[in-house]
Every structure is written in structure tokens, then in C-alpha cells.
Structure 1
Amino acid sequence: MKTNRLGSSDLHVSAMGLGCMSLGTEEARAAAIIHEALEQGINFLDTADLYDEGRNEEIIGKAIRDRRSEVILATKVGNRRVPGREGWVWDASKAYIRSAVKESLRRLQTDYIDLYQLHGGTLEDNIDETIEAFEELKQEGVIRYYGISSIRPNVIREYVQRSGIVSVMSQYSILDRRPEETVLPLLAREGISLIARGPLASGILTDHGRSKAQRASYLDYTEAELMALHEQLMSQPPLTRTLTQTALQYPLADPAVAAVIPGASSLEQLRQNIAAAGSPPLSAQEAAAVRANSKANRYTLHV
């Protein structure tokens, strides 16, 4: 599988990574998916301490324990569980980040994290303190590089201007083209990569996604618009490829995008995604057809 350099780092990630959130908690099944991904050339695994209350990290750690050198491992921090309370609270403090990374390392059974990402962020955070935490962890060799996972342009701009991030993870797909407005041009200018999550839009942008398109809405799409777009992308020239191929290749057509990270809850799903990601890049004519048929969504909050 093709690899791309992640920003200014020396990490070269597979063009399709594995978003691990949907692996589930059945250890044998999840491990089989991870091992198949590695065998098929995927080297980029993305998780978070939030997923399944840390169980996701534990499963990944066990699965790659004897193959750590083959993996570019990414996880996230910022959502803190408070004993005795349901759910999570946001905590981007230096003290919490330095504490949380130790727990992630323990669960992942490793002594370093390739890409440590802030799992959100607001302008109300003490951003300088947050950056200081990541920089210290990098200097100590606990993490190799750091990034941010966010859909907020105002927060992304602050980290681009003030920190040493090498990547921004953001939702980006044919149905969610918001990064094209401001984020992708900014990252391209600064030599920072976008990691595109949700490229299949919860399964809508797949060959069998018609039933999933029958929903009330998706961003600014109505159900009728989703159904019409699904049909157009499945049948309209010059898109003479599967919808899954079109959907995974569309974000990768932007040079600022280093990887797409669809999830997989089964081996069959993983193999279908790998086959689609291995298809030829979209031609300029194909990309233009996608843009002509879909909406150039705009950010209305946190701009």
C-alpha cells in the first residue's frame, strides 16, 4: 500500500489507516482485524484513551505486542474520566496530559507513542500549557510527534500558529467537505498533514449504503438529497468505479491529506476498504464530478 509522509515528521503512514474505535471489545475478533490490516500493508493504527474506557488501547497493545516495530501508533488524550461520575470531562491541562500518557503507555504495552493527539480543544483552554505538555513528552522520548483531532477551524489555527503539530485529524468526506474551505489550504501552506476520519460517512458512502442513506439528515443533507447523491455517485459517468473506491480516494486527492482512516468491525469490511483504497487515484474529471454533485459544506460554528 502507498505511504505518505505525515507533515514534517519522519513518519510515513499508509494511505489508508485503521480507525480502531469500531473494533469492539471481543479480543480475538479485534486482534484478527488488526493482524489482517498489518498483513495487507496498513501500518497506521489510530485509537484513543476514550474508546471503550481504555479497553480499545488494551486490545491493540496486546495484538501488536510482538509487532510494535511494524506499527505507527496514534492515540489521543483530553477526555478525563472522573471516579464516581458518569461520562467524561474535558481536561487539556499539562498535569492531566502527563498523567494520562502513562496510562496509555501501560494499556498499549509500549514505551513510546508515535503520534499523540489532543482529542478536541477549545479557545478557553490554556493552550500554551497544553503545548508545553506535548513538547516535554516529545523531548523525553515518550512521544515521537503530536497533533490535534478537531473540526474547529479557530482551534486548529491556534495550534498551527503556536505549536509543532505535524497533523490535524478531522472529519472529511464527500458528504463533509468543510475542511476544503479553510483548513486544507492552511495546512498545505504550513506543511501539516490532514488525517481524514469518517471518509465513508457512517457507511452511507459505500456500495451497500443506500439503506443507511435513508435517514433524517447528515450535516446539511436531507434524506432525499442523500438518496439522490448516493444514486448519482453509483451510476454517473465518469465515475466508473465503486462508490467505496470513490469515497476513499476523494479525500486522498488533496495533497494535504496523508491518510484516510475508515473503521472496520469485521474482516470482510476491512478487506473491502483495503481493496477500495488500493484503486487508482481519482482523475481530475472524476474529482470535478464529485464536487459538482455534492455540497461544498461550510463551517458555521467555531470559525
Structure 2
Amino acid sequence: MEYRTLGKSGLKVSEIGFGAWAIGGDAWGEVDDVQSIKAMNHAFEMGINFFDTADVYGDGRSEKLVAQLIKGKRDQVIISTKGGLLGHTRKPEPIYDKPEKVIKAFEDSLTRLGVDYIDVYFCHIWWHVEEETLAFLEAFERLKQEGKVRAVGVSTDNFDYLKTFNRNHSIDVLQVEYSILNRAAEKEILPYCQQENIGVVVRGPLQKGLLTGKFTKEMQFAGNDVRQHWERKWFEEQVDKVEMLKQFKREGRTLGQLALQFVLSHPAISTAIPGAKTDKQVEENALASIRPLLTNEESDFIQQHFFL
């Protein structure tokens, strides 16, 4: 496993992390808690030290499971969690409009995680409401002063919101969606993060599983799986795009690993956090951390056929 510096935070993170949304059990189908803990421990054994969760994932279930991982190895694990969506209507109206409300959400995460500090804390609200932005920024400052958090940031794909949140160069880390199928962050966000020395955590590097190459146009998603809400025409178009990449599959590297290597090839990226629920998924993700990341032919093909 290779490690990178998480921007101005100075934290050294594994370039492949563990995204713990799926193990919350509220958006990706059925999960087994014992298997989830086993998968996280396997990730740790493979050199993954960055684990990302959120209070809203399974209404706290994900954070409680991450707590099981941390026991006995807190100083070897970098924990990232997010606040602001739990209990929110997700409409542009202020809910977390006072720093005390943000701090309460943070303290609740501390309790579920069973720790006395969090390495990286994100605002999980991705749209701009000034009262909430100011509340988070003030809460961040207080929590840093108290030594309860080491780095702070925002999870958003909106460049204007990122700049608004970073108005006083006040954030250390950004969490953003970026993949072969969604290269929008390359336009403005990633260059800005390089300029500001903001660490970049990439969510969705496998585009919710599409870039594993395991989906067909006939694939159906059911239950609480968030992918059942995909627009069908869009989904079928993405399956066709992924089919083009299969020419680059080779012995010892899966299509999903190619997708992760693409993300890691950008110099702004600190870590990618694909989700995983099983040891097998963990292992496949972790083994993407090999060199070289991409050949010139692979890189050129992606640049030419997968547009910004």
C-alpha cells in the first residue's frame, strides 16, 4: 500500500481508503455486521489506514461498526466522519444554523465511534445556506482549538460552494466525486485544491459499481439500493461506456482496479474511498495500489473517449 499526505493537514493516508456507507445498511442492500467488521479488519491488514463514515449512514450504524475496528489500534487508524445530513430535510433551509448544533452532532459521532478525537470532520451539506456555512466554520474553529479534531473540510461537488466554505483558507480537506465516468472535478475543483493545498478524498471512484464492469443493461436493483433510482437510459449508456474499457483488462488487474488507478493518477488526489462489504471487495480495492498506475495508452484512451 502506498501512502500520501492529506493536503495541509499533514496526515499520512493510504491512497486506497475504506468507504463505510454501504455497511450502514440503509442504501446498498442487506449487510451483515460481523462480515462488515471482518472486511474492515482485512482492509487494515492490507495497509488501509483511512476509514470514512458519516453519522447519517444507517442512522449511526456505520459509525458504531467503525468503532469496533478502532479498538486497540486508535493511533494506527485515521478516521473521517461527516455531519449535517442527519435529521436534515435536504432542502435549502437552515437546520444546522448554530455552531452548538454542529458541535452536538460532532459529540454524538465521538460517542458512537468511542473516541475522544476525530482525525477528519466534514460538513456533509453540499448546498450553500449562509447560516449553516458560518455555523460549521465556527464549530470547526472551536473543535480544532479544543484538540477534538485534526482536520476539517466539506463534502461537495460544487466549486462555488467549496470556495465559499474556504473563504478564509479555513478548510484542510475536500471530499468530492470523481471517476472515469465523472471527470467534472478536473475542470476547476482539483486545480483549486492543488493551489490551496487542500487534501482530496475521492468518493464514487467506481461510480457506484459501474466501473467494475460487472453490470449488464438488464441489471435490476431492488430494496433500499440507491441505484434503483438511476434513470434507465443513463444507466444503459454508462454500461456501453464501460464496455469500451474492457480492452484494458489484463491478468492481475481488474477493471475496477483500472478505475481506481485512473483516480490515483491525478496529482491532486490524496485517497480514494471505494465502498466494500466483503473481504474480496476489500482485497480487490487495496490491490489497485500498485505501480505503474496507468500506461500512456490507457491514459490517452480515457482522455479521448471519456469527456469532462
1:110-138 CA deviation, whole Å, 9 max, x = no partner?
A: 00000000002433232333211101100
Unmatched runs of 5 consecutive residues or more in structure 1: 297-303
| 1:219–1:183 CA distance, 2 compared to 1 (3 A) | farther
In structure 1, give the amino acid aligned to 2:129.
Answer: E
User: 1:262 deviation in Å?
Assistant: 0.1
Q: What does residue 138 of structure 2 align with?
A: 132
Contact in 2 for aligned 1:175/1:294 (Cα 8 Å): yes
Cα contact 1:234–1:242 (8 A) shared by 2: no
Tell me which residue corresponds to 1:228: 240
Q: What does residue 14 of structure 1 align with? A: 14
1:202-281 equivalences under 5 Å are 202-210=208-216, 222-235=234-247, 241-278=253-290, 280-281=292-293
Contact 1:113 1:144 in 2 (8 A): yes
Q: Is the 8 A contact 1:147 1:166 kept in 2?
A: yes
Letter in 1 for 2:104: S
Say whether residues 1:53 and 2:65 are aligned partners.
no
For 2:34 and 2:253, how far apart are their aligned partners in 1?
A: 34
Q: Is the 8 A contact 1:137 1:143 kept in 2?
A: yes
Gap change, CA 1:229 and 1:4, over 3 Å in 2: same
Match of residue 87 from structure 2: 81
Distance 2:284 2:246 in 1: 16
Name 1:301's counterpart in structure 2.
Answer: none
Structure 1 residues 261-280: Cα deviation after superposition (integer angstroms, max 9, x where no partner): 00001111111111233353
In the alignment, the residues of structure 2 paired with residue 26 and residue 196 of structure 1 have an alpha-carbon distance, to the nearest angstrom, of 25
Could you report, residue by residue, the CA deviation over 1:146-194 in whole angstroms, capped at 9, with x for unpaired residues?
Answer: 0111111111011233242111101110111110111111111111121
CA contact (8 A) 1:92 1:121 kept: no
Q: Secondary structure at the match of 2:13?
A: strand
Structure with bigger strand share is 1
SS at match of 2:119: strand
Aligned residue in 1 for 2:118: 113
Q: Distance in 1 between matches of 2:147 and 2:106?
A: 12
**207-216 vs 258-267, which deviates more?**
207-216
Q: Kindly provide the amino acid, as one letter, of the partner of residue 102 in structure 2.
A: I
Q: Which has the higher contact order (CA 8 A, sep 6+)?
A: 2
Pick one of 68, 72, 91 that aligns with 1:62. Answer: 68
For normalisation by structure 1, the TM-score amounts to 0.87
For residue 102 of structure 1, report the CA deviation from its aligned partner: 1.1
Q: Point out where structure 2 has 5 or more consecutive residues left out of the alignment.
A: 26-30, 221-226
Q: 1:289 to 1:59 in 2, by over 3 A?
A: same
Q: Does 1:295 align with 2:307?
A: yes
**Matched-pair identity in %:** 33
Q: Mapping of 1:52-201 within 5 angstroms?
A: 52-81=58-87, 90-126=95-131, 127-201=133-207
Cα distance in 1 between the residues matched to 2:145 and 2:98 = 18
TM-score under structure 2 normalisation?
0.86
Letter in 2 for 1:283: T
Q: CA-to-partner distance for each residue in 1:175-222, whole Å, 9 max, x for gaps?
A: 111101111111111111211101111111014234588899979983
1:17 maps to amino acid: G
What is the identity, as a one-letter code, of the residue corresponding to 2:200? L
Compute the RMSD of aligned alpha carbons: 3.0
